[in-house]
Amino acid sequence: MFVQLIVSGLATGSLYALLALGLVIIYRTSNVLNFAQGEIAMVSTFVAFTFLETLHIPYLGAFLLAIVTSFLLGAAIEIALLRPARHPTPLGLIIITLGVQQILYGAAGWVWGYDTKVFPSPLSDTKIHRLGSVVLSEVNLWILTASIILMVAFLVFFRYTRLGVAMRAISQNPTTARLMGARTPWIVSLTWAIASVLGAVAGILIAPVTFLDPNMMLNPLLKAFAAATLGGMNSLAGAVVGGGSLGILENLVGGYLTPELKDSVAFFVIVLVLCLRPSGLMGRHYRRRV
C-alpha cells in the first residue's frame, strides 16, 4: 500500500509540478506571481474541448491547436497588459494578474457556460497497468509519463540551449543581460508563452479525470503555489521536487489518516515553509546590503 500511494502521488504531483514550473519561470524572469496561470490553463482546455466536440478534430490535432492557442494567449497577456505598466510595484503586478484571472474566468463562463462538462479522452480511467505490485490506471500512467518527459525536456532546454541561457541571464540580472545583447522584452514574452503551454498541458491532462468547468483549475493552482513555495520560488528543480513531494504527502495523508485532510496539506505546507524556510527547500535566499 505504501508503494502504491507513492506512485499514485507522483502521478498527481507531476501535474502540480507542471503548473509550478510555469509559476517559477515567470517569477524568475518577470518577478511576478502569476495568479492567472490556472485560468490560462482552463481556457486552453476549453479550446481543446471545442476542437474535439464542436469541430470534431482528432485528439492529437486538438491538443496541438490548444497548445498553440495557449502559447499565443500567454504572450498576448504579457505584451498587452503587463508590459505597458510603467514602473509597476510587485503588488501592482499581482493585481494585474488577478484582473486577468477574473477576465478569463468570466469570458469562459460567458462562452462555454458554468455547467460541468465531460472532457473526451482516448485514454481509459478503468483500464489498469501493473508495474510489479503497483497498479496504475491508463490515464495516470500517461499523465506520469507525459509530465516527466515534458519536465525533463524543459529543464534541458532551460539549462543547455542558447535561449534558455538568455532566460537564466535575464532572471539573474535583466540590465546586464540587456547590455550583453539579450532581447529582454521578447524573451520575457516568450517566457509567459512557455509557462502558458505548461499550464495548458496540465489542464488537458487533469480534465479527463476530474471535470471541465471554469473552476476546474482553482484547486490545482493552489497546490502548484504550495509546490513552488516548498521547492523554492526561484528554483526550477525545486518546483519539480515540490510538486512530487506534495502529491506523495497528500496521498499518504489520505491513505493513512483521512481523505478529508488531503486538501489541507497544501496550505499546511505553505505556512510551514514560510515560517521555517521562506526561500524553500532548493531556493536561494538573497540578502541585499544597504
Q: Which residue has the higher pLDDT, 107 or 169?
A: 107
* 282/210 Cα distance (integer angstroms): 31
Could you tell me if residue 31 is inside a domain? yes
Rounded to the nearest integer, the mean pLDDT of the chain is 86
Report angle CA 72, 75, 81 to the nearest 5 degrees.
125
Q: Is residue 25 pLDDT above 50, yes or no?
A: yes
Could you tell me if residue 276 is inside a domain? no
Residues 139, 125: contact at Cβ < 8 Å? yes
Q: Is residue 289 pLDDT above 60, yes or no?
A: no
Burial class (CB in 10 A: 0-12, 13-18, 19+), 290: exposed
* 266/228 Cα distance (integer angstroms): 11
Q: Is residue 73 pLDDT above 90, yes or no?
A: yes
Q: Which amino acid is at 28?
A: R
Nearest to 105 by CA among 218, 219, 220: 218
Over residues 70-81, the mean pLDDT reads: 94
The overall pTM is greater than 0.75: yes
Could you tell me if residue 193 is inside a domain? yes
Over residues 240-268, the mean pLDDT reads: 85
pLDDT in tens, 192-239: 999 999 999 999 999 988 889 999 999 999 999 989 988 888 888 888
Over residues 95-112, the mean pLDDT reads: 94
Could you tell me if residue 191 is inside a domain? yes
Over residues 179-193, the mean pLDDT reads: 82
pLDDT in tens, 104-128: 999 999 999 999 998 888 776 667 7
Number of domains in the chain: 1
Could you tell me if residue 156 is inside a domain? yes
Could you tell me if residue 257 is inside a domain? no
Percent of the chain with pLDDT over 70: 94
- Position 288 scores a pLDDT of 46
Could you tell me if residue 228 is inside a domain? no
- Position 166 scores a pLDDT of 80
Residue 60 domain boundaries: 2-217
- Position 17 scores a pLDDT of 92
Grid coordinates belonging to 283: 531556493
Q: Is residue 240 pLDDT above 50, yes or no?
A: yes
Could you tell me if residue 289 is inside a domain? no
